[in-house]
Amino acid sequence: VGSVFRAERPQKGRYRQFTQCDIDVIGDESDFAELELILATSEALSQIGFSGFTVRINDRRILNGVVEYCGYDKNEFEMVFITIDKLDKIGLDGIEKELMEKSVNRPSSVKLMSFLRNVSSGLNDDLFTLLPNEVNKNVIDELKQIIKSVKVQSNGSYQIVFDPTLVRGMGYYTGPVFEIEDKDFPSSIAGGGRYDNMIGKYFGKKIPACGFSIGFERIMTLLEERGLSIATNEEKRVVIFDVNSVSANFALTFAKEVRSGDGIVSTQKRRKNVKKQLDDLVKLGYTSFCLLDSESSKVEFRPIK
């Protein structure tokens, strides 16, 4: 978990500085690494209240095969990928316009647009059948196996779909790439992929690696909008004290003593509207409270009703 910085136009869920919760598998070149990462990330989201989200998956080698089939020169591959990556923002017409402006290879752009329109039409349930022969069959089989295994493990609590238009903008990806989408958020809430060549640049040898990261701010935005609280086995209690008759030090010391046992204990000043205060605490997952209005009387925790 750490801070990440990028050039960005600030908007909902997209910041120039944000917190990324990352998980990686280093040294495993098998597709089992991708499978474990997808399952672990999906399970983490499920544990904090998410369901019905969609995992989109593709492979950079599939993209290479498609672009090669269209006839682009290798020095144009990255430009084509960056353009396709904008599909959600500018649509098919925008992609076509940009390709025609940036590439001298018009026939290749026409061919690619035909492929993209077929993929986006929604008329074909099995998008693998649209892939050209230039795509390595072993790559397709590996991706199909990942999808099959995730479907079995998910028990229908979330979906995984093959999306041949998924790029993920980072040029260092070398194999499978994946993102998680939620219907209530305009962009992905998690993303990752395989990057076998990155670490090796610093060690002089190939070191296989694969990672998946969750956007912390995006997750928190959705949780707050839905009024969801993170599930926990620990009881959450709160000490509310009257500032007119109880000192902050007394309240904090009392809370510290209670906290030495099990569970989570917070301290709050008493508001004028105690009922509203308790209602807000329930939304945050608190189950009981005690009201300190004297430093001499004995108090007990009561359920928040």
Of 12 and 125, the one with more pLDDT: 125
Cβ density class 183-221: b for 16+ within 10 Å, e for less: eebebbbbbbbbbbeebeeeeeeebbbbbbbbbbbbbeb
- Position 51: which residue type? S
What's this model's pTM, rounded to 2 decimal places?
Answer: 0.71
Q: In angstroms, rounded to a whole number, what is the distance separating the alpha carbons of residues 113 and 120?
A: 10
pLDDT in tens, 273-302: 999 999 999 988 899 999 999 998 888 999
User: What is the band of 233 on the pLDDT scale with cuts at 50, 70, 90?
Assistant: low
State the average pLDDT over residues 237-244. Answer: 93
Percentage of residues in the chain having pLDDT higher than 70 = 92
Domains (range + CATH), the chain: 2-226 (3.30.930.10), 236-303 (3.40.50.800)
| Residues 190 and 213 sit within 8 Å (Cβ to Cβ) | yes
pLDDT in tens, 91-101: 999 999 999 99
- The closest alpha carbon to 82, from 7, 171, 16, belongs to 171
Of 55 and 105, the one with more pLDDT: 55
Region for 210 from its dihedrals, namely left if φ exceeds 0, alpha if ψ lies in -120 to 50, beta otherwise: beta
Average pLDDT score, the chain: 89
DSSP letter at 198 equals T
State the average pLDDT over residues 233-243. Answer: 88
| Residues 21 and 216 sit within 8 Å (Cβ to Cβ) | yes
Residue 208 reports pLDDT greater than 90: yes
pLDDT in tens, 160-203: 999 999 999 778 899 999 999 998 887 889 999 999 999 988 88
Of 115 and 257, the one with more pLDDT: 115
Total count of residues recorded for the chain: 305
Q: In angstroms, rounded to a whole number, what is the distance separating the alpha carbons of residues 24 and 198?
A: 13
Cα distances (angstroms) measured from residue 184 to each of 40, 166, 187, 195: 22, 19, 9, 29
Residue 7 reports pLDDT greater than 70: no
DSSP-based three-state secondary structure for 1: coil
